Chains A and B, each alone.
Chain A
Amino acid sequence: MNSLNEVWSTRFNHYINEVQKYMRFVFTGHLAIVLVFIVGAVGYQYSEWLKVAPDTFPAEWIVSIIVGVILALSRPVTLFREPDQVYLLSLESKMTLYFKKALNYTFWSQVGLAVVIYIVAIPLLKAVTELSTNQIWLGVLFIAVLKFLNVQIEFNYRYGNRGENIVIDRITRALLSIITIQTALIMNYTMAIIFVVLLIVYNMALKKKVLRQPVPYEHFVKLEQNRMMGFYRFANYFTDVPHLKGSIKQRSWLNFVYNIVPYGKKSTQNYLVYRTFIRTDDHFYLWVRLTLISGIIAFVVNIPVVTWIVAGALAFATTLQLKYALLSSKDFRMDRLYPVKESQRKEAVQKVLRLFMVVQAIIVLLCSVGQPLFFVPAIIVIVLNEITFRVSKDPSKHDYSY
């Protein structure tokens, strides 16, 4: 029995170290600064809007839906690894203890997000509902109970069905969680408790099925690998995560872009870099995400200085990260041997970035139409791309040995 306790705690320590190692880069990275600006801007808008929020605003429903959906997403964190499918087989009957610890951690690591979102919504609830302070805090208790049940149910469901049709289970739980919070927020506590009891019954039904089944190691290992992969992808935006290969999609609807590259020796790196940027998910979605955030801020926030700073900060972050991603590579690539100028790669990356940052500028421009000096953010985007590209250091300057 003790050995499984140990297995969990060694793994847990290792996992926390790994997460901390990368989170350090995330929080010291430039994106953290961008986030501070965005949170500040959105917070300011929110408090301004609260002053004029109408009493008819459906705050209970909106809060219930957002929190309910987040509660339903309760992927268990098992910290399983691939060899477990073989080495933990003999301990199958004792795994209950391990899972108890795993689900405990799952609960504590996930409940925070739902609670924070609810707390952010408290000023709104105070402004537009008649709830007393105690009644509002009672909501937190409901959220904790719901999270606990959601974690247990998602685990039991995955255990019993090997994750098949998890969407149906999640929708069911999301609906029940939403309606529980909603009835609690309109002070209909009897109904709220009935819905909680429904969830408990659902859990018990699933548990019966679990008792008759072997541990679905394969499913949990895969789930765990996907989860860690997601984390590494995220961390990869801030620092180099070794052995991480981004997935590739053709995105043939963008094939027309390649036509601007003429055939010829001088265009060799252009030919390659356009395709690398558009088809590598990591690079392309990074641009899409930051462009969308920039556009949304330009559209929603109507304090010119804030939109200028956000557009600038996001343009800086986009250019810097993409330049780094496209220019630095420790792996050997065949184009290292091509008889073309060494500077061609850098020029090609600059060209691709220029094109896509102009597109970002156009999107920001369209989103800020109607605001005073609406053209300024777009100009800032273009100028900051140029400056950032020229001033930042060149990551490709290293020796060619591999």
Chain B
Amino acid sequence: MTLLQLSDVTGGYTRKPVIKDLNFSIGEGELVGLIGLNGAGKSTTIKHIIGTLLPQKGEIRLNGVTLSEDIDQYRTSFSYIPETPVLYDELTLKEHLELTAMAYGIDEHTLKSRSEALLKEFRMEKRLNWFPSHFSKGMRQKVMIMCAFLVNPKLYIIDEPFVGLDPLGIQSLLDQMDEKKKDGASILMSTHILSTAEKHCDRIILLHEGRVRAQGTMDDLRKSFNMPTATLDDLYIAMTKEQDHE
């Protein structure tokens, strides 16, 4: 079943659109990679999906509703991990988890059991009462990840998740993503780490100059570029060269 559907979405920060006529969907239990060069429109696409930017044209449907139809259901259906961690300087790690749980209507008992597991997984148990000013970039990223997984939504939207994380952190994140996928959750992930994307994503969307250049499984992409043995790195470079020829 389709969880997220973008139909003819055009939008950007100003009148001049950054993304143009985007069409793609994500099904239940699917991990989809959003790949593209700097400035291809990955972050803009994500901002439209989370609702901080509204499309100039087209429609985004999540879990059956658009943002304007049922804002509460729309927002409860996803959690978001931004590229740069956005934390409250005035809240401790524990308070970040508590605040998130309250916002998404999670009861105290569930909060306790879920956060204990997450803190252990990301090795942050001893830092519960720390403020973000004492966290490294990677730790800040971990706080965002834990808050997102605490919510247990239908869709995870993850922007460049691997930058700044140590190898153990990356492994923990991938494990968590696998686990949630098994439970039926979907994940949209934008990244530049192509080998990881190739290995873990069920499908890949190649974004180029605000449009979908190609999408599908690795096999679909190889066919579309006519490169039967290519890796994702090869396809990515081929796409860049196409741009140079234009």
A interface residues with partner B (beta carbon < 8 Å): 245, 248, 250, 263-265, 267-268, 271-272, 275-276, 279-280, 332-340, 400-402
Please tell me if B53 contacts chain A, counting CB pairs below 8 Å: yes
Contact check, A332 vs B52: say whether CB atoms are below 8 A apart. Answer: yes
Contact check, B108 vs A263: say whether CB atoms are below 8 A apart. Answer: yes
A402 and B53 CA atoms in complex are apart in Å by 8
24 sampled A-B residue pairs with Cβ under 8 A: A248-B131, A248-B133, A263-B102, A263-B108, A265-B103, A265-B105, A268-B103, A272-B88, A272-B99, A275-B88, A275-B91, A279-B90, A280-B90, A334-B147, A335-B99, A337-B51, A337-B80, A338-B75, A339-B71, A339-B75, A339-B76, A339-B105, A340-B103, A400-B53
Contact with A along B42-82 (1 / 0, CB 8 A): 00000100111100000000000000000111111000101
Please tell me if B104 contacts chain A, counting CB pairs below 8 Å: yes
Contact check, B102 vs A248: say whether CB atoms are below 8 A apart. Answer: no
A336 and B75 CA atoms in complex are apart in Å by 10
Residues of chain B within 8 A of A336, CB atoms compared: 52
> Given that A400-B52, A401-B13 are contacting pairs, would A338 and B90 also be in contact in the complex, using a CB cutoff of 8 Å?
no
A275 and B108 CA atoms in complex are apart in Å by 20
A271 and B95 CA atoms in complex are apart in Å by 9
Chain B, 157-197, CB within 8 A of any chain A CB: none
Contact check, A339 vs B86: say whether CB atoms are below 8 A apart. Answer: no
Contact check, A275 vs B50: say whether CB atoms are below 8 A apart. Answer: no
A78 and B80 CA atoms in complex are apart in Å by 46
Contact check, B102 vs A265: say whether CB atoms are below 8 A apart. Answer: yes
Q: A265-B105, A339-B72, A401-B13 are in contact. List 15 more A-B contacts (CB 8 A).
A: A248-B133, A263-B98, A267-B102, A268-B103, A276-B90, A280-B90, A332-B82, A334-B100, A334-B147, A335-B99, A335-B103, A338-B75, A339-B104, A401-B52, A402-B52
B105 → chain A closest CB, angstroms? 4
Nearest CB in chain B to that of A279: its residue:
B90
Chain B, 10-24, CB within 8 A of any chain A CB: 13
A399 → chain B closest CB, angstroms? 9
Residues of chain A within 8 A of B72, CB atoms compared: 339
Residues of chain B within 8 A of A271, CB atoms compared: 95, 98-99, 102
Please tell me if B89 contacts chain A, counting CB pairs below 8 Å: yes
Residues of chain A within 8 A of B82, CB atoms compared: 332
A264 and B105 CA atoms in complex are apart in Å by 7
> Given that A248-B90, A279-B90, A333-B86 are contacting pairs, would A338 and B133 also be in contact in the complex, using a CB cutoff of 8 Å?
no
B111 → chain A closest CB, angstroms? 9
Which one of B13, B86, B91, B147 lies within 8 Å of A332 (CB-CB)? B86
B interface residues with partner A (beta carbon < 8 Å): 13, 47, 50-53, 71-76, 80, 82, 86, 88-91, 95, 98-100, 102-105, 108, 131, 133, 147
Residues of chain A within 8 A of B98, CB atoms compared: 263, 271
A336 and B47 CA atoms in complex are apart in Å by 12
Contact check, A275 vs B86: say whether CB atoms are below 8 A apart. Answer: no
A332 and B50 CA atoms in complex are apart in Å by 12
A303 → chain B closest CB, angstroms? 41
Residues of chain B within 8 A of A267, CB atoms compared: 102
Which 7 interchain pairs have the tightest Cβ spacing? A339-B75, A338-B103, A279-B90, A339-B76, A265-B105, A268-B103, A268-B102
Contact check, A268 vs B99: say whether CB atoms are below 8 A apart. Answer: yes
Nearest CB in chain A to that of B73: its residue:
A339
> Given that A250-B131, A271-B98, A334-B86 are contacting pairs, would A339 and B53 also be in contact in the complex, using a CB cutoff of 8 Å?
no
B60 → chain A closest CB, angstroms? 14
Nearest CB in chain B to that of A262: its residue:
B102
B10 → chain A closest CB, angstroms? 15
A264 and B90 CA atoms in complex are apart in Å by 20
Residues of chain B within 8 A of A339, CB atoms compared: 71-76, 103-105
A356 and B158 CA atoms in complex are apart in Å by 39
B170 → chain A closest CB, angstroms? 22
A90 and B131 CA atoms in complex are apart in Å by 42
A267 and B99 CA atoms in complex are apart in Å by 9
A208 and B163 CA atoms in complex are apart in Å by 53
B135 → chain A closest CB, angstroms? 13
Nearest CB in chain A to that of B96: its residue:
A334
Contact check, A245 vs B89: say whether CB atoms are below 8 A apart. Answer: yes
Q: Of A250, A267, A340, which is in contact with the most chain B CB atoms at under 10 Å from its CB?
A: A340
A230 and B238 CA atoms in complex are apart in Å by 53
A240 and B246 CA atoms in complex are apart in Å by 46
> Given that A248-B89, A250-B131, A275-B90 are contacting pairs, would A264 and B103 also be in contact in the complex, using a CB cutoff of 8 Å?
no
A245 and B74 CA atoms in complex are apart in Å by 32
B158 → chain A closest CB, angstroms? 14
A272 and B99 CA atoms in complex are apart in Å by 7
A52 → chain B closest CB, angstroms? 50
A245 → chain B closest CB, angstroms? 7
Residues of chain A within 8 A of B103, CB atoms compared: 265, 268, 335, 338-340
Q: Of A332, A338, A400, which is in contact with the most chain B CB atoms at under 10 Å from its CB?
A: A338
B222 → chain A closest CB, angstroms? 37
Residues of chain A within 8 A of B104, CB atoms compared: 265, 338-339
A332 and B76 CA atoms in complex are apart in Å by 18
A249 → chain B closest CB, angstroms? 9
Contact check, A333 vs B88: say whether CB atoms are below 8 A apart. Answer: yes
Residues of chain A within 8 A of B88, CB atoms compared: 272, 275-276, 333-334
A400 and B13 CA atoms in complex are apart in Å by 11
Nearest CB in chain A to that of B106: its residue:
A265
Nearest CB in chain A to that of B147: its residue:
A334
A306 and B95 CA atoms in complex are apart in Å by 44
B128 → chain A closest CB, angstroms? 14
Nearest CB in chain B to that of A342: its residue:
B71
Residues of chain B within 8 A of A402, CB atoms compared: 52
